[in-house]
C-alpha cells in the first residue's frame, strides 16, 4: 500500500512539473512584462522609466531562461524562469502584479471559500442522495416520473438564472438575507445560507439523476432482488443493501473533488461578494494579474493531484476483498 | 457574399450530420436503434424543435456585405426577420409597448416642457390610436396563429400523401402536432414582430426577440463545434491508449491528467486572454468587427474543445482495454491483421455508441457554459449576440425601476428550449444505445 | 445537534428586527459611516498612489502641506499642516523660485508600532524625506518624471540613487536630500524649483508631498514585513484625521479616528452658492465621525440595493437606476423623484473637472495636420458627432457638451460657444445642422462621404478600449454618427495595453480618451496639446500629437503666469486656435451625481479635495429607524413553503402506509 502510494506520487510529480512549465510558456513567452507593467501602472504619466522601474521591482527585468551576464550559479537562478516558476514549485507564491504578497492573500481567502464550498457540497450531497433514494424507492411510479421531469428541467436551466433570480427575490424583494457580503465576526450563516441553498438547487438536477442511476444499478442486483423476494420492505432494502453498496462509488467520487473545494466557487463568490479564492481568481482574470493566475493554476493542479491520490487510497480501502474481511 | 469562417463550420457541421444519417441507411442495427429512439414521444418532439433551431442557425450562416453603413453585414435570417432586424429604437421599451420606457424632455403644444415617454418608431405605427392596441393584438394574434398552424398542417398533409409516415411504430402524430404548434408560434412571433416588439427592446433599442434568435447560432456553434472538435483527439488518443497500452497509454494518460490538473476555468481564461492578446496585436487581419468576433467565437470553441476531450478519451480508453481482450480481436491479431485494420473494423464500430452519447450530453453542457464564460468575460465577443451576453446585461436591468426582465426572459427562453430539447433527446439516445441504462 | 443549531438561528433572528443587516450587529448603532469601494486599491503608498479610488482612503490618512478649502468656490488652497501659505520668492539671477514652508508644531502621526508608543510629531525632515523617497526609481513614483525637470537637483539625485548597488535593504533618505530641498530647522523647509511655475503649489496639496516618518520606512524594510503585506502600500501612516485600523482590500477597509489629530475646526466661510445650512457646524472641532467602514462592493447592483435598504450612506447613480432616483425638471435640472424624497434623500451634483474627448492623430495622412482638407474633415466630424444625444442616451443627461478643452469651474474656462460646431449665445449653444457638416465634407473633397481615391465610402478607423457588453451600444452609436456623413467607421477595439502601445507608436487614427484635472488650473488641460508633450516623440500626454507653434508659445506664457485677466485672455486665444484646428472633438464634461441619505450632514461636492470625511456628521438614531422600517422581512413565503412541504410529506407517508398494509 505504502509503496503503491509512493509510486503514484512519483508518477504525479511530473504532472505538476508540466503544469508549471505550461503556465510559464503561456505567460512569459506569449505575454511580455512590458504589457503587464502598463496594465498595472494606470493611465497618467506612464513613462518608459516608470515601466522599467516596475519591472525591476518585480524581477521581470531578468532574462527568461539563461542569464549570460551573471556568473556561476546565478546564471540559472537570476532568471525569470527560476525566480517565478521554480519558486512556485516550492510554494513560494511571490508578489502579485498589483504588489501584494500572494501567499498571505491565499491563506486569508481560503477560509471564506471553504466556508461556502464545504457546506454547499455536503448539503448538496445529502439532498441529492436523499432525493435519489426517494426516486428509486418509487421507481416507475408517478413520483419517479415527476422527479425525472423536474430534474431534466432544472438541468436545462443555467445556474446563473437561479443565482440572479434567487438573489433578486429572496434578498432584494423579501429582505431575508443580506444582498451580499461576508462577516466572520457576526453570524456567518446569514451570509452563507442563500448562496448555499442556491448552489444546492442549481446542482440538484444533475446530481439526483447521477445518484439515481448509481442506486438503481445496486437495486437491480441479485441480492437486492432476493431481499425483496424474502419480504423485506422497500425501505429496508434501501437501507440495508442499496445505500451501503451505492456509497462505494459515491464516496470515491467525492474524495476526488474534495480538495478542489479549496479553490472556491467562481460564480457564487463573485455574485455574493464572498472574499474567497474564487472571486480572487475572477478578479485576477479581469485585471489580468498573471502572477495570481499562475499561482492559482499551480494551486489547483496540486489540489487535483492530491485528490487523485486520495481517490487511489479510497479505492484501495474500499476494495471488495478488503470489505469482505471487514464483514 | 461574405463567407465567415464560422459559416463554413456551421454548414460543414450540418453536412456531416446529413452524411451521418446517410451512413445509417446501410447499417441495419443502427437503423433499428434510431427507430427505437424515434419511438419516444418526447425524443421525437425534441428532434423537431432541434431541427427548427438548426434551420435558424443555418439561415443565420449565409452572410453578405451591404452598402448600408449601419448594417455592413447581413444574413438570410436578418432579411427574413424583416422589421424585427431593422426596427431599432433608441433604448428600452416593454414587450408589445408602443411607448418608450425611457423619457425624453420635450415641449408640448401649449409651450410647457415635460419629460415623458415617447411613441416608439417601429411599434404600433399602424394604429390610429393607442386604444386600438389591445384589439389589434388579439386580431393579429389569431390571424398569425391560424396562418402558421394552417401552413404546417398543409405541409404535414402533403408529406402524408407522399407516404412518408408508413412506419406505424413511430408516433408521427406527436411530430405533426409539434410541428404545427411550432409553426403557429413562429408565425405569431414573426407576424407580431413586424408591428410590435414582442419581447420589447434592449438598452440600445434592439429588438430582444431578434437578439434571442441571433443567439441561436452562437449557442449551436459553441455546443456543436466544440464537441466536434473534441472528437478527433478523444477518439484517436483514447483508442490508441487502450489498444496499444505501454508507453502510448502512459503518454496519453499523462497528457490528459495534466490538462485536467489545471483548473478548467483558469485554463480557458488563460488561453482566451492570450488569444485576445493575439487578436489585439493583429487587428489588421480583420476587415470588420464581425469577422473578428467570428474568429473569437471559433477560438472559444477551440479552447473549449482542447480542454474538453479528456473525459471521452478516458471512457474510450477503458472500453478499448476491454475490447482488445475480446476473442475476435485476439483472433484477428493472431491472423496477423494490421493494427490499423483491427481498430477500424473491430474497435471503432464498437465504441460508436459511447461517442454518440458523449456528443449529445456535452452539447447541452456547453451551451450552458457559454453563459458562464461570458459572465467571467472570457467568452464570445461582447458585440456578438449571444445568450450569455444577454444574461450578463440582465443583471443590471433587474435593478432598474421599472424592472427590465425581457432580456433575461429572452435568453432564458432560448437557452431553456434548446438545452431541454437536447437533454431529452440525449436521455432517449442514452437509453437506447447504452445497454446498461435501458432498464429504466 | 441540528435542532439546537436551528433553534439558535431562530433565536438570534427573532432577537433582531432586520435579517439582512450586512455588518456586525453593533456597528449600525455607533457613530460609524458606511461606504464602499468597487475595486481593491492597488497601493496606498503616498509616493505611488495616483488614482482617485485610492485617494479616497489615503487623503484621509496622510496630510500634505496644503488642502483645498472645503466650501469656498472657486477652489482655493489653504494651509493644512502649515502655519500659513508657503511664501514664494523668485530669484531672477539663478532663475529659480523658492517656496518656504513653515510647519505647525501640533501635528503628530497616528499611533504606529514603529513609534514604540511615543507621540511622534511631524518635522520638516519628514517632508524632505518624502521628496527624497520620490527620487528613488525603485519606489516607482508616477510623478517623478514630471518633477525631475522642476525641482532643483532632483535629476542629479535620481542618477545618484540609481547608481547605488541593488538591494532590498532600507535606504535612509535623510542622507539623500536633493539640492533644491533644504531643511532649515525642525519646522521650516525650503523647496527650490527651476524658473517660474505657479501651478507647482497645487502639487503640495497632493499625497505625494505628505510627510514620511523615517522610523516607519525603516520598520517596513525589515525582513518578513512585505510577505505579511506590512508595507507603505497597505499600511500608510500619516497625521490625518483617521488612521487605517483594518486593511483588508479583499473585504473591507476601516478608518478609525486618529487620537492625536491636530486641532482643526469646521470652516466659517463658504462660497456664495453654498447653502447656509452647511455652516451650522462652523467652528466645531473635526472630525465628527468615529469610524468609517468601506466595504468591498464590486458591482453596482448590490451596491444600489443596499443603499436603498439604508446600509450605505451614499451612492452614485448609475444609468440603470437613474429614472428611479432622479427626474429632470423643465429647465433640464436634476431633482429627486417622489420615491427618493419619501426616503429623505439628498441629491448632490456637480460638473466634473474632467473632459472626455475624441482625438485625431494629427500625424495621420488622411485626417492629420498639414492640409486644409483634413481640417475641414475634422471640423465636419466635430459637428456630426452629436454629443448632446450621447449625453441624453448614455448618461441620462448627466453631462455638459464641451465647447473647448477646459471644463467649467476652472479659471479660464470658456463660456462662449465653439463657433466651429455650435451657434448661439453662451449657455444656449445649438449644434450646427448636419448640412453644415456635409458642406465641409464637400469642401474637404469627400462629397457625400465618397472617397474620390476609391470611389467608395471613406473609411476611417476608430481605436477604442472596449471590454464590456455595454460598450457595444456606444460603439454602434458612434458608427451611426459617422454614417451620417457617409463615412464608414471601422472600430478597432483592443485592450488598454494595446491601445496605449498604439498611441505611443502613433498607429491610431481616431481615438477616445479623457483627462481628469490634477488641479483646478487651465494649464493642466492646455498642456495636453502642447507640442513638446507629443505622445509619439516624448511619450507625453499629447495623444493627438498636435503641434502648433502659435499655441506652444501661448502655452509657455500661460504656464509661467499667476491667474490674472491677461492670463485668461491668453487662454482664450489658445482655445480659439485649438477650436479652429480641431485636433479633438471636444466631447463632454461629465456631471457627477450622488445621493446621500438624510442622516448624513455637511455634504457639499468638492472635486479637488479627497480628505472630506472629517467634515461629515451623521444622525445615528435617524438611520436606525430608517433601516428598521425599510427592511422588515416578508414572511408569507414561509407559510406557503411550509404548506407545500407538509403536503409532500403527507403524500409520501400515505403511500408508505399503503405499501405496509398490503
Best of C20, C139, C150, C634 to disrupt the A interface (most A CBs within 10 Å) is C20
CA neighbours closer than 13 Å in the CB half-sphere of residue C477: 21
* Residue C626: Cβ within 10 Å count: 18
Name the band, by pLDDT with cuts 50, 70 and 90, for residue C16.
low
Q: Report pLDDT for C162.
A: 87
Could you give the CA distance from residue A34 to residue A290 in angstroms, rounded to a whole number?
13
A300 to chain B, minimum CA–CA distance in Å? 6
Name the band, by pLDDT with cuts 50, 70 and 90, for residue A324.
very low
Verify that C286 and C340 share a domain, yes or no.
no
Pairing of strands C584-597, C345-351: antiparallel
**Do C216 and C233 touch, CB atoms closer than 8 A?**
no
Q: Report pLDDT for C130.
A: 95
Judged against a pLDDT cut of 70, whether residue C14 lies above it is answered with: no
Residue B148 domain flag: no
Chain A: partners with 3+ C-beta pairs within 8 Å: B, C
Q: Which residue of A has its CA nearest to B417?
A: A156
pLDDT of A57-73, one tens digit each? 777 777 777 777 777 77
ipTM of the complex: 0.86
Nearest residue to A198 (alpha-carbon basis) of A259, A124, A251, A258: A124
Q: C191 is in which domain, residue-wise?
A: 18-296
Verify that C319 and C430 share a domain, yes or no.
no
Q: Report pLDDT for B440.
A: 34
Verify that C403 and C413 share a domain, yes or no.
yes
Q: Which residues of A touch C309 (CB under 8 A)?
A: 175, 179
- DSSP, collapsed to helix, strand or coil, labels residue C316 as strand
Instruction: Name the CA dihedral angle for B367, B375, B264, B433, rounded to a multiple of 10 degrees.
Output: -10
CA neighbours closer than 13 Å in the CB half-sphere of residue C438: 8
Q: Report pLDDT for B105.
A: 67
Say yes or no for a CB contact (<8 Å) between A179 and C660.
no
Phi-psi region of B404 (alpha: psi -120 to 50; beta: other; left: phi over 0): beta
Q: Report pLDDT for B269.
A: 82
Verify that C376 and C462 share a domain, yes or no.
yes
Name the band, by pLDDT with cuts 50, 70 and 90, for residue B287.
low
Q: In B262-347, where does DSSP find H-type helix?
A: 264-281, 289-323, 327-334, 339-342
CA neighbours closer than 13 Å in the CB half-sphere of residue B142: 5
Q: Average of pLDDT values for B248-275?
A: 85
B277-299: b (≥16 Cβ within 10 Å) or e: bebbeebeebebbbbbbbbbbbb
pLDDT of A12-51, one tens digit each? 788 888 888 888 887 776 667 777 777 677 666 667 777 7
Nearest residue to A83 (alpha-carbon basis) of A144, A165, A28, A30: A28
B4 to chain C, minimum CA–CA distance in Å? 17
Q: Report pLDDT for B229.
A: 86
Say yes or no for a CB contact (<8 Å) between B104 and C301.
no
Q: Report pLDDT for B107.
A: 64
Say yes or no for a CB contact (<8 Å) between A42 and C23.
no
B294 to chain C, minimum CA–CA distance in Å? 14
Residue B288 domain flag: yes
Could you give the CA distance from residue B271 to residue B277 in angstroms, rounded to a whole number?
10
Would you list the domain boundaries of chain A?
2-89, 104-318
The share of chain A scoring above pLDDT 70, in percent, equals: 93
Nearest to A160 among B258, B371, B420 (CB): B371
In the DSSP assignment, the letter for residue C446 is: -
* Residue B67: Cβ within 10 Å count: 9
Q: Average of pLDDT values for C135-141?
A: 87
Per the document, the length of chain C is: 662
Pairing of strands C334-336, C459-465: unpaired
Nearest to C327 among B115, B374, B382 (CB): B115
**Do B341 and B384 touch, CB atoms closer than 8 A?**
no
Best of A32, A40, A45, A105 to disrupt the C interface (most C CBs within 10 Å) is A45
DSSP A187-230: -THHHHHHHHHHHHHHHHHHHHHHHHHHHHHHHTSHHHHHHHHT
- DSSP, collapsed to helix, strand or coil, labels residue B106 as strand
- DSSP, collapsed to helix, strand or coil, labels residue C101 as strand
Say yes or no for a CB contact (<8 Å) between A267 and B372.
yes
pLDDT of B377-431, one tens digit each? 788 887 788 999 888 888 778 877 788 899 999 999 999 999 999 999 988 888 8
Name the band, by pLDDT with cuts 50, 70 and 90, for residue B437.
very low
- Is any Cβ of chain A less than 8 angstroms from the Cβ of C654? no
Q: Which residues of A touch B375 (CB under 8 A)?
A: 160, 267
Q: Which residue of A has its CA nearest to B427?
A: A152
Q: Average of pLDDT values for B254-274?
A: 84
Q: Which residues of A touch C297 (CB under 8 A)?
A: 180, 273
Verify that C462 and C339 share a domain, yes or no.
no
Give the residue, B166 or C445, on which the prediction is more confident.
Answer: C445
Total domain count for chain C?
A: 3
Tell me the CATH number at B215.
Answer: 1.10.3720.10
* Residue B403: Cβ within 10 Å count: 11
Nearest to B377 among C467, C476, C497 (CB): C467
Verify that C46 and C121 share a domain, yes or no.
yes
pLDDT of A136-189, one tens digit each? 888 888 888 889 899 999 999 988 899 988 988 888 888 888 988 888 876 788
Q: Which residues of A touch B266 (CB under 8 A)?
A: 281, 285, 293, 296-297, 300
Q: Average of pLDDT values for A301-311?
A: 86
Judged against a pLDDT cut of 80, whether residue C460 lies above it is answered with: yes
Q: Which residue of C has its CA nearest to A33?
A: C497
Say yes or no for a CB contact (<8 Å) between A179 and C138.
no
**Do C397 and C332 touch, CB atoms closer than 8 A?**
yes
Q: Report pLDDT for C626.
A: 92
Residues 6+ apart with CB under 8 A from C160: C176
Chain B: partners with 3+ C-beta pairs within 8 Å: A, C
CATH 1.10.390.10 is the classification of domain A104-318: no
Residue B43 domain flag: no
Q: Which residues of C touch A287 (CB under 8 A)?
A: 39
Nearest to C20 among A41, A171, A280 (CB): A171
* 249-308 in chain C: CB under 8 A from chain A: 249-251, 295-298, 302, 305-306
Could you give the CA distance from residue B44 to residue B51 in angstroms, rounded to a whole number?
10
- Distance (Å) of CA C579 to CA A121, C446, C588: 64, 22, 14
- Is any Cβ of chain A less than 8 angstroms from the Cβ of B436? yes
Tell me the CATH number at C564.
Answer: 3.10.105.10
Best of B45, B269, B397 to disrupt the A interface (most A CBs within 10 Å) is B269
Judged against a pLDDT cut of 80, whether residue B112 lies above it is answered with: no
Say yes or no for a CB contact (<8 Å) between A160 and B391.
yes
* Residue C9: Cβ within 10 Å count: 14
Could you give the CA distance from residue B55 to residue B61 in angstroms, rounded to a whole number?
10
C530 to chain A, minimum CA–CA distance in Å? 15
How many contacts does B have with C, using Cβ atoms within 8 A? Answer: 87
B121 to chain C, minimum CA–CA distance in Å? 16
Helix (H), strand (E) at residue B427: helix B406-433
Q: Average of pLDDT values for B309-317?
A: 89
Nearest to C300 among B277, B287, B396 (CB): B396
Residue C180 domain flag: yes
Residue C13 domain flag: no
* Residue A313: Cβ within 10 Å count: 16
Q: Report pLDDT for C289.
A: 95
Grid cell digits, residue C21: 443587516
Give the residue, A42 or C597, on which the prediction is more confident.
Answer: C597
Q: Which residues pair with C464 in a beta bridge?
A: C493
Nearest to B266 among A153, A220, A293 (CB): A293
Q: Average of pLDDT values for C258-264?
A: 94
Grid cell digits, residue C287: 472630525
Say yes or no for a CB contact (<8 Å) between C320 and B400.
yes
Total domain count for chain B?
A: 1
Say yes or no for a CB contact (<8 Å) between A160 and B375.
yes
Nearest to C138 among A43, A56, A283 (CB): A56
What φ, ψ does residue C73 adopt, rounded to 5°?
Answer: -135, 140
Chain B positions contacting chain C at CB under 8 Å are 67, 69-70, 72, 90-91, 102-105, 112-115, 203-204, 276-277, 280-281, 283, 287-289, 374, 377, 382-383, 389, 392-393, 395-401
Could you give the CA distance from residue C126 to residue C291 in angstroms, rounded to a whole number?
27
Grid cell digits, residue C524: 493642466
Could you give the CA distance from residue C462 to residue C478 in angstroms, rounded to a whole number?
9
Give me the long-range contacts of B366-370 (CB less than 8 A, separation at least 24): B366/B222, B366/B223, B366/B226, B366/B227, B366/B304, B366/B308, B367/B219, B367/B220, B367/B222, B367/B223, B367/B415, B367/B418, B367/B419, B367/B422, B368/A158, B368/A159, B368/B415, B368/B419, B369/B222, B369/B304, B370/B218, B370/B219, B370/B222, B370/B300
Q: B426 is in which domain, residue-wise?
A: 208-433
**Do C588 and C390 touch, CB atoms closer than 8 A?**
yes
CA neighbours closer than 13 Å in the CB half-sphere of residue B362: 26
Residue B157 domain flag: no
Residue B327 domain flag: yes
Nearest residue to C295 (alpha-carbon basis) of C627, C56, C37: C37
Chain C: partners with 3+ C-beta pairs within 8 Å: A, B
Q: Average of pLDDT values for C589-606?
A: 92
Judged against a pLDDT cut of 90, whether residue C20 lies above it is answered with: no
Verify that C313 and C366 share a domain, yes or no.
no
Residue B397 domain flag: yes
Verify that C572 and C598 share a domain, yes or no.
no
Q: Average of pLDDT values for C152-156?
A: 93
Give the rounded distance of the alpha carbon of C367 from its chain centre.
32
Could you give the CA distance from residue A288 to residue B273 in angstroms, rounded to a whole number?
8
Verify that C492 and C608 share a domain, yes or no.
no
A311 to chain B, minimum CA–CA distance in Å? 14
pLDDT of B423-432, one tens digit each? 999 888 888 8
Verify that C224 and C177 share a domain, yes or no.
yes
Residue C656 domain flag: no
- DSSP, collapsed to helix, strand or coil, labels residue B267 as helix
Q: Which residues of A touch B424 (CB under 8 A)?
A: 152
Say yes or no for a CB contact (<8 Å) between A161 and B391.
yes
A323 to chain B, minimum CA–CA distance in Å? 25
Verify that C457 and C491 share a domain, yes or no.
yes
Lowest pLDDT segment from B86-90, B147-151, B205-209, C449-453: B86-90
Residue B282 domain flag: yes
Best of C497, C525, C527 to disrupt the A interface (most A CBs within 10 Å) is C497
Nearest residue to A112 (alpha-carbon basis) of A228, A278, A249, A259: A278
Q: Report pLDDT for B439.
A: 36
Verify that C438 and C581 share a domain, yes or no.
yes
B117 to chain A, minimum CA–CA distance in Å? 27
A221 to chain B, minimum CA–CA distance in Å? 12
By the 10 Å C-beta count (0-12 exposed, 13-18 middle, 19+ buried), C564 is classed as exposed
Residue C471 domain flag: yes
Amino acid at each position: 500500500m505504502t509503496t503503491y502510494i509512493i509510486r503514484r506520487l512519483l508518477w504525479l510529480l511530473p504532472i505538476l512539473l508540466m503544469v508549471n512549465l505550461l503556465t510559464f510558456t503561456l505567460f512569459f513567452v506569449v505575454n511580455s512584462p512590458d504589457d503587464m507593467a502598463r496594465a498595472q501602472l494606470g493611465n497618467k504619466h506612464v513613462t518608459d522609466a516608470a515601466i522599467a522601474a516596475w519591472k525591476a521591482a518585480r524581477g521581470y527585468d531578468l532574462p527568461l531562461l539563461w542569464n549570460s551576464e551573471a556568473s556561476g550559479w546565478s546564471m540559472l537562478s537570476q532568471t525569470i524562469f527560476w525566480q517565478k516558476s521554480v519558486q512556485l514549485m516550492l510554494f513560494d507564491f511571490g508578489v502579485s502584479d498589483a504588489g501584494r504578497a500572494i501567499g498571505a492573500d491565499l491563506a486569508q481567502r481560503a477560509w471564506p471559500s471553504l466556508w461556502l464550498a464545504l457546506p454547499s457540497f455536503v448539503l448538496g450531497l445529502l439532498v441529492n442522495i436523499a432525493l435519489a433514494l426517494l426516486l428509486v424507492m418509487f421507481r416507475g411510479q408517478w413520483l419517479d416520473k415527476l422527479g425525472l421531469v423536474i430534474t431534466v428541467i432544472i438541468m436545462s436551466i443555467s445556474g446563473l438564472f437561479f443565482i440572479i433570480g434567487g438573489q433578486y427575490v429572496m434578498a432584494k424583494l423579501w429582505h431575508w438575507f443580506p444582498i451580499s457580503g461576508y462577516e466572520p465576526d457576526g453570524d456567518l450563516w446569514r451570509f452563507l445560507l442563500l448562496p448555499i441553498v442556491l448552489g444546492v438547487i442549481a446542482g440538484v438536477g444533475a446530481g439526483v439523476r447521477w445518484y439515481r442511476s448509481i442506486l438503481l444499478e445496486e437495486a437491480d442486483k441479485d441480492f437486492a432482488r432476493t431481499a425483496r423476494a424474502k419480504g423485506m420492505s422497500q425501505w429496508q432494502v434501501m437501507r440495508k443493501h442499496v445505500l451501503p453498496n451505492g456509497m462505494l462509488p459515491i464516496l470515491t467520487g467525492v474524495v476526488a473533488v474534495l480538495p478542489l473545494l479549496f479553490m472556491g466557487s467562481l460564480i457564487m463568490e463573485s455574485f455574493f461578494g464572498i472574499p474567497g479564492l474564487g472571486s480572487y481568481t475572477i478578479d485576477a482574470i479581469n485585471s489580468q494579474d498573471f502572477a495570481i493566475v499562475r499561482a492559482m493554476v499551480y494551486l489547483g493542479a496540486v489540489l487535483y493531484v492530491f485528490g487523485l491520490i486520495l481517490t487511489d487510497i479510497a479505492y484501495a480501502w474500499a476494495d471488495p476483498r478488503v470489505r469482505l474481511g471487514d464483514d | 457574399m461574405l463567407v465567415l469562417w464560422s459559416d463554413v463550420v456551421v454548414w460543414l457541421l450540418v453536412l456531416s450530420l446529413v452524411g451521418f444519417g446517410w451512413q445509417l441507411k446501410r447499417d441495419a442495427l443502427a437503423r433499428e436503434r434510431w427507430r427505437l429512439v424515434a419511438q419516444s414521444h418526447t425524443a421525437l418532439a425534441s428532434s423537431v424543435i432541434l431541427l427548427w433551431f438548426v434551420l435558424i442557425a443555418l439561415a443565420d450562416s449565409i452572410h453578405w456585405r451591404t452598402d448600408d453603413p449601419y448594417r455592413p453585414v447581413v444574413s438570410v435570417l436578418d432579411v427574413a426577420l424583416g422589421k424585427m432586424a431593422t426596427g431599432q429604437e433608441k433604448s428600452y421599451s416593454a414587450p408589445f409597448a408602443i411607448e418608450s420606457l425611457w423619457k425624453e424632455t420635450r415641449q408640448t403644444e401649449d409651450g410647457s416642457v415635460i419629460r415623458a415617454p415617447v411613441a416608439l418608431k417601429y411599434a404600433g405605427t399602424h394604429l390610429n390610436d393607442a386604444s386600438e392596441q389591445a384589439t389589434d393584438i388579439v386580431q393579429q394574434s389569431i390571424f398569425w396563429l391560424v396562418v402558421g398552424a394552417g401552413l404546417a398542417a398543409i405541409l404535414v398533409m402533403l408529406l402524408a400523401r407522399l407516404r412518408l409516415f408508413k412506419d406505424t411504430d413511430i408516433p408521427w402524430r406527436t411530430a405533426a402536432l409539434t410541428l404545427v404548434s411550432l409553426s403557429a408560434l413562429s408565425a405569431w412571433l414573426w407576424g407580431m414582430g413586424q408591428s410590435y416588439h414582442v419581447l420589447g427592446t434592449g438598452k440600445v433599442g434592439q429588438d430582444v426577440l431578434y437578439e434571442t434568435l441571433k443567439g441561436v447560432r452562437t449557442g449551436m456553434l459553441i455546443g456543436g463545434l466544440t464537441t466536434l472538435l473534441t472528437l478527433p483527439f478523444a477518439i484517436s488518443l483514447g483508442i490508441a491508449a487502450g489498444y496499444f497500452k505501454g508507453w502510448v497509454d502512459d503518454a496519453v494518460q499523462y497528457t490528459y491528467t495534466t490538462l485536467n490538473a489545471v483548473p478548467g476555468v483558469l485554463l480557458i481564461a488563460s488561453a482566451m486572454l492570450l488569444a485576445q492578446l493575439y487578436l489585439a496585436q493583429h487587428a489588421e487581419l480583420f476587415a470588420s468587427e464581425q469577422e473578428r468576433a467570428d474568429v473569437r467565437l471559433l477560438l472559444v470553441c477551440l479552447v473549449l474543445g482542447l480542454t474538453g476531450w479528456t473525459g471521452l478519451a478516458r471512457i474510450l480508453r477503458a472500453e478499448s482495454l476491454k475490447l482488445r481482450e475480446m476473442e475476435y480481436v485476439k483472433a484477428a491479431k493472431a491472423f496477423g491483421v494490421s493494427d490499423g485494420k483491427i481498430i477500424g473494423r473491430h474497435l471503432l464500430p464498437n465504441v460508436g455508441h459511447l461517442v454518440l452519447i458523449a456528443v449529445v450530453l456535452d452539447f447541452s453542457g456547453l451551451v450552458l457554459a457559454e453563459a458562464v464564460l461570458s459572465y467571467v468575460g472570457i467568452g464570445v465577443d461582447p458585440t456578438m449576440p449571444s445568450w450569455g451576453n444577454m444574461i450578463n446585461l440582465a443583471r443590471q436591468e433587474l435593478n432598474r425601476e421599472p424592472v427590465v426582465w425581457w432580456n433575461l426572459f429572452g435568453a432564458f427562453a432560448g437557452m431553456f428550449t434548446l438545452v431541454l430539447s437536447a437533454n431529452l433527446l440525449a436521455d432517449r439516445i442514452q437509453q437506447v444505445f447504452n445497454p446498461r441504462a435501458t432498464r429504466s | 445537534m441540528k435542532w439546537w443549531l436551528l433553534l439558535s438561528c431562530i433565536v438570534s433572528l427573532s432577537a433582531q428586527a432586520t435579517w439582512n443587516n450586512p455588518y456586525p450587529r453593533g456597528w449600525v448603532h455607533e457613530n460609524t459611516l458606511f461606504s464602499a469601494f468597487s475595486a481593491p486599491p492597488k497601493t496606498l503608498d503616498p509616493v505611488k498612489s495616483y488614482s482617485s479610488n485610492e485617494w479616497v482612503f489615503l487623503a484621509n490618512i496622510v496630510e500634505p502641506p496644503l488642502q483645498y478649502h472645503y466650501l469656498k468656490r472657486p477652489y482655493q488652497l489653504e494651509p493644512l499642516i502649515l502655519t500659513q501659505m508657503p511664501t514664494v520668492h523668485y530669484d531672477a539671477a539663478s532663475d529659480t523660485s523658492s517656496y518656504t514652508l513653515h510647519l505647525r508644531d501640533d501635528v503628530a502621526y497616528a499611533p504606529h508600532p514603529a513609534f514604540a508608543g511615543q507621540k511622534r510629531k511631524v518635522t520638516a525632515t519628514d517632508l524632505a524625506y518624502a521628496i527624497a523617497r520620490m527620487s528613488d526609481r525603485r519606489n516607482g513614483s508616477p510623478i517623478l518624471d514630471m518633477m525631475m525637470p522642476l525641482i532643483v537637483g532632483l535629476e542629479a539625485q535620481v542618477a545618484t540613487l540609481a547608481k547605488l548597488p541593488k538591494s532590498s535593504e532600507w535606504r535612509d533618505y535623510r542622507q539623500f536630500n536633493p539640492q533644491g530641498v533644504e531643511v532649515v530647522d525642525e519646522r521650516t523647509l525650503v523647496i527650490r524649483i527651476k524658473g517660474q511655475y505657479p501651478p507647482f503649489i497645487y502639487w503640495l496639496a497632493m499625497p505625494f508631498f505628505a510627510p514620511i516618518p523615517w522610523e516607519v520606512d525603516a520598520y517596513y524594510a525589515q525582513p518578513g514585513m512585505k510577505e505579511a503585506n506590512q508595507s507603505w502600500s497597505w499600511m500608510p501612516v500619516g497625521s490625518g484625521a483617521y488612521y487605517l485600523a483594518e486593511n483588508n482590500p479583499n473585504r473591507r477597509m476601516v478608518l478609525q479616528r486618529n487620537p492625536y489629530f491636530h486641532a482643526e475646526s469646521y470652516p466659517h466661510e463658504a462660497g456664495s452658492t453654498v447653502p447656509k445650512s452647511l455652516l451650522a457646524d462652523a467652528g466645531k472641532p473635526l472630525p465628527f465621525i468615529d469610524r468609517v467602514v468601506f466595504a468591498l462592493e464590486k458591482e453596482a447592483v448590490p451596491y444600489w440595493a443596499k443603499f436603498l435598504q439604508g446600509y450605505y450612506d451614499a451612492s452614485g447613480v448609475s444609468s440603470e437606476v437613474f429614472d428611479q432616483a432622479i427626474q429632470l425638471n423643465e429647465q433640464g435640472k436634476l431633482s429627486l423623484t417622489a420615491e427618493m424624497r419619501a426616503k429623505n434623500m439628498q441629491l448632490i451634483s456637480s460638473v466634473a473637472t474632467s473632459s472626455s474627448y475624441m482625438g485625431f492623430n494629427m500625424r495621420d495622412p488622411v485626417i492629420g495636420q498639414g492640409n486644409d482638407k483634413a481640417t475641414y474633415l475634422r471640423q465636419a466630424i466635430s459637428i456630426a458627432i452629436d454629443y448632446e444625444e450621447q449625453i441624453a442616451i448614455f448618461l441620462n443627461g448627466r453631462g455638459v457638451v464641451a465647447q473647448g478643452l477646459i471644463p467649467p469651474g476652472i479659471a479660464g474656462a470658456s463660456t462662449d460657444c465653439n463657433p466651429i460646431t455650435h451657434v448661439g449665445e453662451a449657455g444656449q449653444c445649438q449644434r450646427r445642422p448636419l448640412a453644415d457638416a456635409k458642406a465641409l465634407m464637400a469642401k474637404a473633397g469627400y462629397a457625400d462621404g465618397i472617397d474620390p481615391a476609391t470611389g467608395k465610402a471613406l473609411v476611417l478607423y476608430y481605436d477604442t478600449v472596449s471590454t464590456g457588453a455595454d460598450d457595444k451600444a456606444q460603439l454602434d452609436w458612434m458608427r451611426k454618427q459617422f454614417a451620417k456623413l457617409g463615412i464608414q467607421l471601422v472600430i478597432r477595439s483592443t485592450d488598454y495595453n494595446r491601445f496605449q502601445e498604439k498611441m505611443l507608436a502613433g498607429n491610431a487614427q481616431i481615438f477616445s480618451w479623457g483627462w481628469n484635472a490634477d488641479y483646478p488650473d487651465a494649464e493642466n488641460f492646455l498642456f495636453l496639446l502642447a507640442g513638446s508633450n507629443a505622445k509619439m516623440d516624448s511619450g507625453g500626454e499629447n495623444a493627438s500629437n498636435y503641434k502648433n507653434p502659435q499655441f506652444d508659445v501661448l502655452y509657455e506664457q500661460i504656464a509661467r503666469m499667476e491667474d490674472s485677466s491677461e492670463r485668461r485672455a491668453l487662454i482664450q486665444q489658445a482655445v480659439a486656435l485649438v477650436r479652429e484646428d480641431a485636433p479633438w472633438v471636444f466631447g463632454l464634461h461629465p456631471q457627477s451625481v450622488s445621493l446621500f441619505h438624510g442622516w448624513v450632514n455637511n455634504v457639499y461636492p468638492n472635486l479637488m479635495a479627497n480628505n472630506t470625511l472629517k467634515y461629515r456628521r451623521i444622525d445615528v438614531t435617524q438611520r436606525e429607524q430608517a433601516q428598521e422600517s425599510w427592511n422588515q422581512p416578508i414572511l408569507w413565503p414561509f407559510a406557503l413553503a411550509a404548506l407545500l412541504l407538509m403536503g409532500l410529506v403527507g403524500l409520501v407517508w400515505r403511500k408508505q402506509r399503503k405499501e405496509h398494509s398490503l
